[in-house]
Structure 1
């Protein structure tokens, strides 16, 4: 197998697991978890935020590991965490064990994506790198859709959610083994890099990007944490059991999220500022639909599709914006953006859980929609510029 296909397949498998069932599984199975473990909506928000805190920590550790040891170690560690965490969820006897399993599983997403840019840069010819990175990113959408489909089919067939998670754990272990083998050729000493100072990233021109990333972290994680439960608590969509109706969210979310693969072309056609506004408005409409029509087939499908498109395209759009702001520090600049997203991801679910407990799920989702709409209105074309300042220090 050529390096292109070997690394692309390894990255596809890793992101399918870590950004599929490992990162999305808690929200996908929240109706079942609430029933089995007697979890309140406020506790659910705390557990989700704990998991996204793991994602935040994983991003930081992954950067250090990649810089010192190369990309193989953080990727393998991430998949090991995913396998252990998913397996713990499958056998969890109580809420503390479930929470720890969710933390480990979601930690894996922070470890396992960004090092693939380094791995592909080392092992794939320059002309083929964009295609390889696109294949890696596709694993996210298809992993989410596959997890949703598995949950729907197994639940409708009367199969326990524990068996479903056991199958996810087996898939994660298989991905771990495959990546361990595929990445053997990129385990050498990392290339020397100049010392980089984080402070050069915190320039005034970068504040809008970090602000949008923070809002995106809140709105996207509130949706994936609570949308399925909102549908189940409202009675579900027609013809599907209430406790598995939320699976439709993740199926549509993942499949329509594949639109993210054409983000570059869309950005070229309409410009980055307009694309950012439209994506945040799509997020606002998505949350509003879940708040107002959670039992409508059309409402659920459109809501999930808009959210999937928003999440997949926004990730790429923020990378484009980061590249413009930090042309000399592309990897570190985008990591800073992801940390802003992760901060919003930590704070969003716990705040949303408390709001839902106090006011109800519908007002909570409407509040989330208002935040996304406000972020869309705040985007200005003047924010999108080539570089915050001419120096771009690297030492």
Structure 2
């Protein structure tokens, strides 16, 4: 449940508060009238106690339930709105009621509770009862004050009903908008997860299969078989995964996880805990070396970085090395990684065939998704410098 409840629940709480304060204002007036009164003081205190008890039952029950109980609303109408003024008229005398009509005044707040807490037909019935009360209490002697109370009963019921309708409508619209936003966010999350899996498959399984199909490595070599086994395990986890987030973005290498990572086998890690960047990059290097690429790697003063940063940099390096294997026409690459304070610069260079930056190999899908998008997602920047027959240089910089 959302913090603060739904829009409808918030509307109900507001109406309860407003009608409760309205009743409280009438009770304060009643208390002042009883304290100042001199006629039949004990009886007045009994009547005030009855009003207080009826109010406590009505609003106390509503507070516990979250909304008015129709039975208690009717009880309040009959006791506070009708029996109290009529009883006061006959117990204290007509003159007392007309001179100090606080018992009639309570009918306005009873009408407000009825207007909000009852159905439309029931509201009409409750208002009729409340309109009859001051007329019966006045015993046929109409006064301007009583006509004012009649108007107060009607206006209180109407305003409470209108406020309740408006707030309910706004609350419902708010709930619908929130539900649509939640659904949209869920769709975005699913799309992001699918893209993460697509990138991981492109960087791992597809790169391995492409290299084997091109005959660049011996498929029976132990290191190649080991890599294929890890990637098969990753595919198996991906297929068998239920609603648990996948491991595509949680690890450095081709199997999508590392010790202490976010995969099912190793439990969950703190997503923004700092991890050694060098270990993540070395895992990517070893993965490419399994497919026969010779890599000269140099690391200098690499800092610890948040885990998502290490994951993205390692994945981008994997894609750059895969591109050397698949497109550069060379079996050699150089990787250098150096710290820059709290950041890092990683460079992958080859002396292969190179390419026209306007027409990247494979349509540029790997560079766009696995390199540029990954770096942009962590606040970094990727630059690719290449030309036909002049090799390729990929520079990854974080932060940008």
TM range (shorter): under 0.3
User: Greater helix percent: which structure?
Assistant: 1
* Greater fraction strand: 2
Q: Which has the higher contact order (CA 8 A, sep 6+)?
A: 1
Query: What TM-score do you get using the length of structure 1 for normalisation?
Result: 0.25
